[in-house]
Chains A and B, each alone.
Chain A
Amino acid sequence: MYQPFPPDRSQYPAKKADGTLDIDLTSGKYLKLWQGPNHPGITGNMSVELTVCGDEVVEGKTHVGYLHRGFEKLMERRTFIQCFPIVCRICVPEPDFNEYCYAAAVEELAGIQAPERAHWIRTLILEMGRINSYMMYLGGQAGSLGQGVIGQWTTYVRDLMLDRFEELTGARIYHMFILPGGVRDGLPDGFAGRMEETLREIESILKDVYDVMFCNAVFKARTVGMGVIDPAWLDEYGVTGPNARAAGVAKDMRKDHPYLVYPELAFEPVTGKDSDIYTRADVRRRDVLVSVDLIRQIMAKMPMDGPLMCAVPNVLHWKIPRGETYIRGECSRGEYGYYLVTDGSGYPRRVNVRGPSYTHAMALLERMIVNISISDVAALMVSLHTYPPEIER
């Protein structure tokens, strides 16, 4: 197993009596190095303030806020329907979880129920989004280790899926399709055939990715045994999703707290054993295949007629009684959740978005980044699969 530094360096630098690190910047031994916010080896608009000793990181602090648009606060001054076009922007690569969680939270508090057909279409969209998110990740993970070609390929199939999104929802990135009460429309004519073609192309590309990225001596040398998440940390840090599953814990909201039509679909959460960067990448690769299979199941089982929206009150002055709820789902990074509080007025009293990146990119990363080499920071950070906008809603 690849060990960047001898284990006895793990306590380096020394700690003071109060437990803080004993870093004397004036000693000339240490150097401050900012990775990000403008840096190819960073996941989106965030940065890590590194303190290095030689090329070894002795301390890393995550800095966010470059993308802060105050969504949660904005929503407190918007009507319930006006929040619907905003929420997708909280997570750009996989926006649909915001739409789903927000819509489901509003539906629960307003006492309305989206029709069954809408549940199927919502599930379909969430799985399509998951594939896209993983495709972006795979390209990023390979890119963080200098393999530019993987990103080219995954972007190509992601683009095909965006075409499917475009014809289904009317938009490529911000779909704004799942709204409180249901979904906007049904599947367009011939969608199933084109979706199947796309799924085959994804499987084919994924095979190439496996051959070139996963069966790759360099990739293995850089990632096997690197960035291990101790299974004991999972609950301590609130680690969810593939990061947890790669550590051998089958945490998956789709199974643990089933929502939408997941109880009617056959699948098993993908898990790994070694909990290193390689395993996490592999878990995600195999998870794409699960999603591909789920989409096939959905396309085969979903009802093709029936209502898509339940009757909603006039959205122009929709008031929702006092209440609070927390709606969660399994996104490509882990547990995505919306905590919504209503006070009987026409506006949300409080919306809190639980993006999994918050714990992964801040607390967890700051712990894991210590004692690795500068050249591994990007790979480690990408392997946690974080999207900064959901950290700084």
Chain B
Amino acid sequence: MSIKDVLSPFTAWKNLFRDPVSIRDPLNRAAAPRYRGFHQNDVAQCIGCGTCEDICQNGAIDMVPVEGIATKQGDSGLRPRIDYGRCCWCALCVDVCMTHSLSMSNVYTWVDGDPDAFRFTPGVDKKPWDDAALGYRRPEEHRLTGRVRAPMGEIEPAERIDSFAEIVDGYDVAEAQFEADRCVSCGLCVATCPTHMAIPQYIKAIRDGDYDLGVSLLYESNPFSGICGRVCTHKCETTCATRHEGEPIAIRWLKRHIMDQVSVDQIKRVLVKPTAPTGRKVAIVGAGPAGLTAAFDLAKQGHQVTVYEALDQPGGMTRWGIPEYRLPYDIIDQDVDIIRSVGVDIRCNARIGTDITLDQLKADHDAVLLGLGLQLGRATRIPGSEHADVRKAVDLLRLATAGEPIAGGTPREVVVIGGGNVAMDIARTLARLQQQAYGEVKVILTALEDRAHFLADPEEIKEAGEEGVIILDARGPQQVVVENGSVTGLKTWRVKAIFDEQGRFAPSYDEADAQFHPGSMVVEAIGQMTDASLLGDAMTEQLAWQRGRLQVDVGGRTSASWLWAAGDMVRGPDVVSAVADGHRVAASIHAALQEGIAK
């Protein structure tokens, strides 16, 4: 201890001559630019996926309905309401927000006498900080969920061009788990899926490696899971929350992965067993997705179901319309085998109207369901289109499945009219046949739509191009040119607009931009329609119709109490919609049979 120790403390007095460091107005002190203050939410961008609610460890976020925001595809219509009595300002909600809509302002002071005022829906309940420019925004690279989709292996174009082998490899377990891990389990996909498959749950089953659970979840809503795992139109992926972050979850490929991992026996083991027989009999015409789905449901409910199929193998359009390189036939066989295993009796080569009459079916059964599909190709009716070498895509695809040759041999040069998936299917099938027969591909596809509005899936367009199909967009077919009795090609004009001002289908053309596409065969792939001739004139007359389709109620029941119709013939072409329709109509038939009022 020294004299310094006595004097030194008095140096504290020098602060008398310093400015005070106090902040005189702390309420109006601006917080740092990335401060985590009260939330902001761009409700127009928010899709109500609820990921913020999921991650909040305090339970401070509730997804609530909001006036003026309707539930629609890809948007639950709910918005996060935040309870600031619970919020700890950790901003994990902002970090996992799929759309970047949620953020935090740098405003942190707010005084209110009402405790309930501190529970509000940001962006909906107007607050002074709604327009604050500063605050915590998730940094661009800061991500807590996976953005990039697990890549899917495919056979290279050079290898696949002359082969009908399946193109897509499917995921192995590691790839599937990687992809399944990206799912945020929001369930927007479930609402979008026509048959409302339990998508987040079966994706979780993949993560957990529980394939028994996975497959039983698939079969709860879709007995065509093997088929849908390959060729579903996967509308679910168009509403997937992760698509806002990067690529949507490969939901279709994950479904396929489950089906690839389990054996038929395993599936049969986990299936719900049919209930006791009810003694009711149901006839189903057409062994396509709608008919067989309904058969599967009704058989499990104890009804005796017989399916009549005109062709020699079941599957409907999935077998006769979809090429093998997209959907191998053994996958269809497997799905059908499982449907048979619950007691469905499928009788092939039994054409109603010819082999058995509809009246006979009606007499022998308590209910009859028509699942006829869309078997007839539509015609362009342009000059020359009545020539024998102007063929319908569906007819040629059917020949390809049956392994039968095309009359007159595989054409060396083909022009396909149409821009949908069926046009792609036939173009790619013919390309393969040409490659096998002649070692070169000469297929031109002319579509009415321009590239931006193509009806076919983008991957179909890409793969068709890779396989040598020349795709011409915005070309309107005008005339099939026939010289000396043989088709020599197709004349087209450029399309200026497909629809008129009222939105009706009325293509207008630029006649100056005419082209001639050489080809010894022209294939029309512009749509299909139902062959309902089995109904007979009297029945056709008796039933109610709407725009060329049988009129049915919500449950698929026609104006005749014993007759139901389902699938493409009433809904338009789509496998998974047909499956959904199959469930709906089965429920309607079951209810009717329960009430005993059928017939």
Q: Mark A166-177, 1 if CB is under 8 A from B, else 0.
A: 110111001010
- Inter-chain contact count A-B, CB under 8 Å? 113
Question: When the two chains form their complex, are residues B12 and A208 in contact, meaning their CB atoms are under 8 A apart?
Answer: yes
Residues of B with C-beta under 8 A to A73: none
Decide if B181 touches A313 in the complex (CB within 8 Å): yes
Closest A residue to B55 by beta carbon equals A316
In whole Å, how far is A40's beta carbon from the nearest beta carbon of chain B?
Answer: 21
Asked whether A315 is an interface residue with its Cβ less than 8 Å from the other chain, the reply is yes
Cα-based distance from A169 to B185 in the complex (angstroms): 30
- In the complex the two chains form, is A211's CB within 8 Å of B88's CB? no
Report whether A309 and B143 are in contact in the complex, using a CB–CB cutoff of 8 Å: yes
Shortest distance between the CB of B321 and any CB in chain A (Å): 37
Contact between chains at A216 and B54 (CB < 8 Å): no
Q: Is A366 an interface residue (CB 8 A)?
A: no
CB–CB B57/A86 < 8 A? yes
Within 8 A of A (CB), among B182-200: 182-185
Asked whether any CB of chain B lies closer than 8 Å to the CB of A33, the reply is no
- Which residue of chain B has the shortest Cβ distance to A165 in the bound complex? B32
In the bound complex, CA of A20 to CA of B530 (Å)? 99
Q: Which of A83, A86, A149 contacts B12 (CB 8 A)?
A: A149
With A170-B35, A309-B142, A313-B181 as contacts: A211 and B9 at CB distance below 8 Å: yes
Contact of A215 among B9, B33, B36, B104 (CB under 8 A): B9
Give A287 to B73 CA distance when docked, in angstroms. 60
Q: Is A185 an interface residue (CB 8 A)?
A: yes
- Contact of B57 with A85 in the complex, beta carbons under 8 Å: yes
Chain B neighbourhood of A84, CB < 8 A: 90, 92
Contacts of A311 in B (CB 8 A): 146
Given that A167-B33, A185-B139, A315-B55 are contacting pairs, would A211 and B11 also be in contact in the complex, using a CB cutoff of 8 Å?
A: yes
Q: Report whether A166 and B31 are in contact in the complex, using a CB–CB cutoff of 8 Å.
A: yes
Chain A, interface size category, equals 35 or more
Answer whether residue A110 sits at the interface, using C-beta atoms and an 8 A cutoff. no
B12, B21, B88: the one contacting A212 at CB < 8 Å is B12
Known: A170-B35, A217-B1. A85 touches B88 (CB 8 A): yes
A304 near B: Cβ within 8 Å? no
Q: How far is the CA of A359 from the CA of B279 in the complex (A)?
A: 78
Q: Does B414 contact A (CB under 8 A)?
A: no
Known: A167-B33, A313-B181, A314-B145. A217 touches B5 (CB 8 A): yes
Contact code string A281-322 (vs B, CB < 8 Å = 1, else 0) = 000000000000000000000000001110111111101000
Interface residues contributed by chain B, number (CB under 8 Å) = 42
Contact residues of A between 306 and 359, Cβ < 8 Å to B: 307-309, 311-317, 319
> Is A81 among interface residues, defined by CB-CB distance under 8 A?
yes
Per-residue A-contact encoding for B1-20, CB less than 8 Å = 1, 0 else: 10011101101100000000
Residue A78 is within 8 A (CB to CB) of chain B in the complex: yes
Hey, which chain A residues are within 8 Å of B145, CB to CB? 314-316
Task: For A169, give the chain B residue with the smallest CB separation.
Answer: B34
- Of the residues B88, B96, B141, contact of A315 by C-beta under 8 Å: B96
Residue of A149, A170, A221 near B36 (CB, 8 A) is A170
How many whole Å from A204's CB to the nearest CB in chain B? 11
Cβ < 8 Å to B, chain A residues 70-114? 78-79, 81-86
A188 CB-CB contact with B under 8 Å: yes
Q: Is the CB of B34 within 8 A of A167?
A: yes
Q: Is A262 interfacial (CB-CB < 8 Å)?
A: no
Contact of B5 among A78, A163, A216, A312 (CB under 8 A): A216
B318 contacts chain A at the CB level, 8 A cutoff: no
* Complex: A212 Cα to B5 Cα, angstroms: 9
Closest A residue to B56 using CB positions: A82
Quick check: A176 and B143 within 8 Å, CB to CB? no
Q: Given A166-B31, A314-B183, does the pair A308, B136 have CB atoms closer than 8 Å?
A: no
> Are B8 and A211 in contact, with the CB atoms below 8 A?
yes
Q: Which residues of A contact B204 (CB under 8 A)?
A: 317
B23 and chain A: residue at smallest CB distance: A159
Residues of B within 8 A of A34 (CB): none
The answer to the question of A63 belonging to the interface, with a C-beta cut-off of 8 Å to chain B, is: no
**B96 cross-chain contacts in A, Cβ below 8 A:** 315-316
Tell me, rounded to whole Å, the shortest Cβ–Cβ distance linking B143 to chain A.
7
Question: What residues on A are CB-neighbors of B5 within 8 Å?
Answer: 215-217, 220
B597: Cβ under 8 A from any A Cβ: no
In the assembled complex, the CB of B12 is this many whole angstroms from the nearest CB of chain A, namely 5
User: A61 to chain B: which residues have CB within 8 Å?
Assistant: none
Q: How long is the Cα–Cα vector from A18 to B21 in the complex, in angstroms?
A: 58
Residues of B within 8 A of A (CB): 1, 4-6, 8-9, 11-12, 21, 31-36, 51, 54-55, 57, 88-92, 95-96, 104, 136, 139, 141-146, 181-185, 204, 207
| A212-B9, A217-B9, A316-B145 known, 5 other contacts, Cβ within 8 Å | A212-B8, A216-B8, A314-B144, A314-B181, A317-B204
Listed from nearest, the 3 A-B pairs whose CB atoms lie closest are A85-B90, A82-B57, A215-B8
Instruction: List chain A positions with a Cβ less than 8 A from chain B.
Output: 78-79, 81-86, 149, 156, 163, 166-167, 169-171, 174, 176, 184-185, 188, 208, 211-213, 215-218, 220-221, 307-309, 311-317, 319
A-B contact pairs, 23 of them (CB 8 A): A78-B57, A81-B55, A82-B55, A85-B92, A149-B12, A163-B32, A166-B35, A167-B32, A169-B34, A176-B90, A185-B34, A185-B139, A185-B142, A188-B33, A211-B9, A215-B4, A216-B9, A312-B144, A313-B181, A314-B182, A314-B183, A316-B185, A317-B207
